[in-house]
Amino acid sequence: MNLNILLLIPLLTLAALFAVRDAVKVRWISFAGMSIQLVVSIVLLFAYLGYRGIGISTPLLFESVYSWYPSWNIHYHTGVDGIAVAMILLTSVVMVSGVLISWNIQSQVKEFYILLILLGLGAYGFFIANDLFSMFLFFELAVIPKYLLIAIWGSGKKEFNAMKLVLILMFGSSLVLAGILGTYYQTTIVGGNASWDLMTIGALQIPLAAQQVLFPLLFIGFAVLSAMFPFHTWAPDGHSSAPTAGSMFLAGISMKLGGYGCLRVATYLFPEAARFYSPYIIVLATIGIFYGAFVTLRQKDIKMMNAYSSVSHCGFVLLGIGMLTQTAMTGAVLQMVSHGVMTALFFGVIGMVYERTHTRMSDELGGLLKVMPFIGTCFILAGLTSLGLPGLSGFVAEMTVFVGAWQVNEFFYRVATVLACMSIVVTAVYILRASGFAMMGPVKNPAYNTLPDATWNEKLAAVILIVPIVLIGTTPFWLSEMVSSSAGIWMSKLLTSLP
Amino acid sequence: MNVRELISVMAPEALLSAMLVLLLLIKIFSDKIRTSKVLLMTSAFFLAAAVAMLFLLPQGSVFGGMFAVTPLIGIEKAILLFATFMISLQAFEWLSSYKNYVEFYMLLISILLGMFIMISSGHFLTFYLGLEMATIPLAALSAFDLEKPRSGEAGMKLILSSAFSSGILLMGISFMYGTCGSLYFDDVKAMFTGSTLQMAGFVFLVTGFAFKISVVPFHLWTADVYEGSPVAVTAFLSVVSKGAAVFIFLGALYKVFGSIAATWTYVLAILAVATMVVGNLFAIRQQNIKRFLAFSSITQAGYILIGIASGTLQGTASVVYFILVYLFSNLSAFTVVSIVSDRTGKENISDYNGLYQSNPRLSVAMMLALFSLAGIPPTAGFFGKWFLLAAGMSTGMMTLILIAAINLVISLYYYLKVVRAMFVDKNEEPLQNIRSGNAARLALVICSAAIILTGFFSFVYQYIYSFSNGVQ
């Protein structure tokens, strides 16, 4: 199958959106477009598994290469491996439920959906692209519309927070830009011929001195999106101001763009430098995990809570990448998928609660489970996934990261792993406390007694997100096999580069 | 040199001169001819000339090599002509209610004529001749709004700073003549040894060029002149005038001073950093949209310098390509500014608050233009910036590219501020719904379409690339 269909569907949806005015039509067209996209993504998954099943073991499947700028040797190169397929599935799931969650938006509906789908387009493009030029193009496309999305439909100090978010993310992307151009320069020196293609550059032997300059640029640049400490401050502010679907995209997909970039671009292209910088990554990731968890403890605003816990959870992704073992890398990708779905569900539910109660303070809420059983159940389910209850996706992902991390037999890495493990206890504290305050106990505010439960669109959105959580939690093998075999190809390059 | 060769090589100049004479005749009978007819005819002429240039692409030299053109220069001239066409569309409404509209075009054409001679010169004398032919009408054009004192002030400032920079240029040229004994580009190139006097002359020359391109620290005239001039003239200054200066700077550096490329690469890198940083920092504080665009155009010059600094074939191609992209982006922004300013007289950024509610199309066009200037994908500006920086990378100066990349973020901040004003901020008394004229609307459509499409269709860049060359 041609991967460009993944871009074509959002593009056609956008074109259709431009043509209509009516808000109802806008919603249905967006829903239809994103549903088709979800179906295509599932078809892609089965096609991928099928091709792997019959023993095709090229690193990328469904490749297509189009010459774009011959004089620069820029080719538009698409292709997916297991990691990309997982990410595409994640994006599709979050996009559909994001469209459903935003059903009640009243002002400028058309513009809202256009921006949301534009963001999705950027994410799809980023995941299927295999040349640095197109990757960067889609990467920035998945950042800029967030500004308008937050600044127009957000809440609180939305203008400031939107600007802060976009500027910090774009700072990251400027580092990536410099890193990519530096990489291109190295290919002209080492390879004798300019190249932007990931596979081609991956085959070159770039000298360690150059790698040591380029790796931090690319890694930090992408990790800013993953809210790596100390570049995480955009996350809580941005999330707390973003509209629900914006938060879902931001935490569910956009933060994963960062992790994916760290893995796919920085670590793959510069394995020696990755090994060199690995202790630093581990330190920053562990600080992020721990710091994020403890700051979350102090949050009364449940949206802020989930935003900070995202910082903590994304720390696991960076920890998994920094460990540089196949299992840990698989775990990092699983964590990306799991956290993406979980956090989207969490933000979705928080949005539903806020829409009804108009407060996000956990001590003002209370007993909502009685009033709104569906929403309450989803809230607790998302919480349990977040703290890593076995049977749900969070457990599988974090377990894999820890097992992979434990494989590194060095004191320093052991300490980091133990510390990271311990943060799960803190996670349990804040999740259980928030659930207890907001969902259990007596109904604090009598006005809440009459609140309606989830509507059909909200239920559908939640179910679409719960299915993968349970599916990964109970039968993780299809996903971890798929990711692991692709991570193996990554690893083989890493191992051959050992001194 | 026979007549046929003369005409074929100097076809664009001949066309412009003929048009100039025609406009003179029109001026005599201007009472009897409808304004809109003249405006339409002149606009059509610019477009036709631009298209014809692309097909002709003259090549050769006349006057013993004092006037030499290559296909690349043909493309550059087509770009300048096309930009003038867009400006003429944008100024359509303003001019049709203005009694001296014929003079406006006559000045415009004489500037173009001067620029054409300048960029196709093979000799410092023709270069200087063209430069002055372009500069003096430009100052007259700046002072064109006779009822506004600021316009007169702008003209005065422009003529004084231009005279000053011309003086410095002449000083440099005379040093070259003193040490080389000839003013032919080829001779100077052959005789250039890098002696102290020659280097001093080179520095003077670069300073003169830097004035024209408004490179920091020679940028101080820019904001005042841009603010005071009529919007159409500001647009012309920021695109055509700057573009022509960049073209000749590029040509002179690559053709004449190729032997000291290693030196001027560093000079340009330092100037580029200063220009980007200062332009950015000043743009943040601007309240007036024209001053804002002035500083933004200073910043853009910084990026252009990075492309020039590379000294490679890709450098030439990316600079010319960037000017083309910059033409669409900047003129699109200026068209919106001119529509708003024409109808309401308002030129402050805060006046744009809530523009999206009353004028969604104008706002979207403006947003596209600003994103293109900021280099956000998928606009053409992204491709332009990328190529400039990638070409600059061939100097191996990683720090320069990093600084440029970080400056892109700073510039995004102030472009987003305008976007925020239009889309997010509320306004007590928003601008009324503006019905723009057909010509301006056409200009916006062309620019917006070009901003979205140019990058995706690589033949534009490839076409320029096929005629480019690096340091010789």
**Per-residue pLDDT tens over the stretch A407-419:** 888 899 999 999 8
Q: Which amino acid is at B352?
A: Y
Residues in chain B within 8 Å Cβ distance of A181? 389-390, 393, 401, 405
What pLDDT, on the 0 to 100 scale, is given for residue A16?
93
Cβ <8 Å between A69 and B458:
yes
Best to test chain B binding among A7, A69, A231 (most B CBs inside 10 Å): A69
Contacts made by residues A159-163, CB under 8 angstroms, sequence distance 24+: A159/B420, A159/B424, A159/B425, A160/A237, A161/A237, A161/A238, A161/A240, A161/A241, A162/A238, A162/A241, A163/B413, A163/B416, A163/B420
What pLDDT, on the 0 to 100 scale, is given for residue B336?
93
SS (H, E, C) chain B: CCHHHHHHHCHHHHHHHHHHHHHHHHHHCCCCCCHHHHHHHHHHHHHHHHHHHHHHCCCEEEHHHCEEECHHHHHHHHHHHHHHHHHHHHCHHHHHCCCCHHHHHHHHHHHHHHHHHHHCECEHHHHHHHHHHHHHHHHHHHCCCCCCHHHHHHHHHHHHHHHHHHHHHHHHHHHHHHHHCCCEHHHHHHHCCCCHHHHHHHHHHHHHHHHHHCCCCCCHHHHHHHHHCCHHHHHHHHHHHHHHHHHHHHHHHHHCCHHHHHHHHHHHHHHHHHHHHHHHHHHHCCCEHHHHHHHHHHHHHHHHHHHHHHCCHHHHHHHHHHHHHHHHHHHHHHHHHHHHHHHHCCCEHHHHCCHHHHCHHHHHHHHHHHHHHHCCCCCHHHHHHHHHHHHHHCCCCHHHHHHHHHHHHHHHHHHHHHHHHHHCCCCCCCCCCCCCCHHHHHHHHHHHHHHHHCCCCCHHHHHHHHHCCCCC
Cβ <8 Å between A166 and B314:
no
Q: Are A252 and A343 in contact (CB under 8 A)?
A: yes
Cβ <8 Å between B377 and A178:
no
What mean pLDDT do residues B23-44 have? 86
What does the pLDDT look like over B155-205, one tens digit per residue? 999 999 999 999 999 999 999 999 988 999 989 998 888 889 999 999 999
User: Does residue A72 belong to the interface with chain B, where contact is any CB pair within 8 Å?
Assistant: yes
Cβ <8 Å between B405 and A138:
no
Label residue B1 by pLDDT band (50, 70, 90): low
User: Does residue B393 belong to the interface with chain A, where contact is any CB pair within 8 Å?
Assistant: yes
Instruction: Please state the domain extents for chain B.
Output: 257-472
User: Does residue A177 belong to the interface with chain B, where contact is any CB pair within 8 Å?
Assistant: yes
pTM of the model: 0.94
Cβ <8 Å between A163 and B416:
yes
What's the CA gap between A350 and B267, in Å, rounded? 56
**Interface contacts A/B by beta carbons within 8 Å:** 84
At residue B59, does pLDDT exceed 60?
yes
What pLDDT, on the 0 to 100 scale, is given for residue A497?
61
Q: How far is A257 from chain B (nearest CA, A)?
A: 17
Cβ <8 Å between B409 and A171:
yes
At residue B127, does pLDDT exceed 90?
yes
Residues in chain A within 8 Å Cβ distance of B464? none
Q: How many CB atoms lie within 10 A of CB A377?
A: 16
Q: Which portions of chain A are predicted below pLDDT 50? A: 499
What pLDDT, on the 0 to 100 scale, is given for residue A364?
82
What pLDDT, on the 0 to 100 scale, is given for residue B55?
86
What pLDDT, on the 0 to 100 scale, is given for residue A38?
94
What's the CA gap between A323 and A315, in Å, rounded? 12
Residues in chain B within 8 Å Cβ distance of A152? 423-424
ipTM: 0.93
What does the pLDDT look like over B330-385, one tens digit per residue? 999 999 999 998 888 888 888 888 888 888 899 999 999 999 999 998 899 999 99
What's the CA gap between A289 and B85, in Å, rounded? 58
Nearest residue in chain B measured CA to CA from A188: B394
**Average pLDDT of chain B?**
90
Q: How far is A161 from chain B (nearest CA, A)?
A: 13
Which residues have C-beta within 8 Å of that of residue B304, sequence separation ≥ 6? Answer: B213, B246, B319, B322, B323, B388
Q: What is the DSSP letter of A361?
A: B
Nearest residue in chain B measured CA to CA from A118: B378
Residues in chain A within 8 Å Cβ distance of B462? 69-71
Strands B67-69 and B60-62: antiparallel
Cβ <8 Å between A147 and B465:
no
User: Does residue B284 belong to the interface with chain A, where contact is any CB pair within 8 Å?
Assistant: no
What mean pLDDT do residues B242-254 have? 92
* Of residues A431, A321, A419, the one with CA closest to residue A382: A431
Q: State whether residue A74 is helix, strand or coil.
A: strand
What mean pLDDT do residues B286-308 have? 93
User: Does residue A160 belong to the interface with chain B, where contact is any CB pair within 8 Å?
Assistant: no
Cβ <8 Å between B376 and A185:
no
What pLDDT, on the 0 to 100 scale, is given for residue A119?
92
Please name the helix (run of DSSP H) or strand (run of DSSP E) that holds residue A102, with its range, or none: none
Q: Which two tokens stand for residue A228?
A: 């790596």
Which of A138, A148, A185 is opposite residue B393, by nearest beta carbon?
Answer: A185
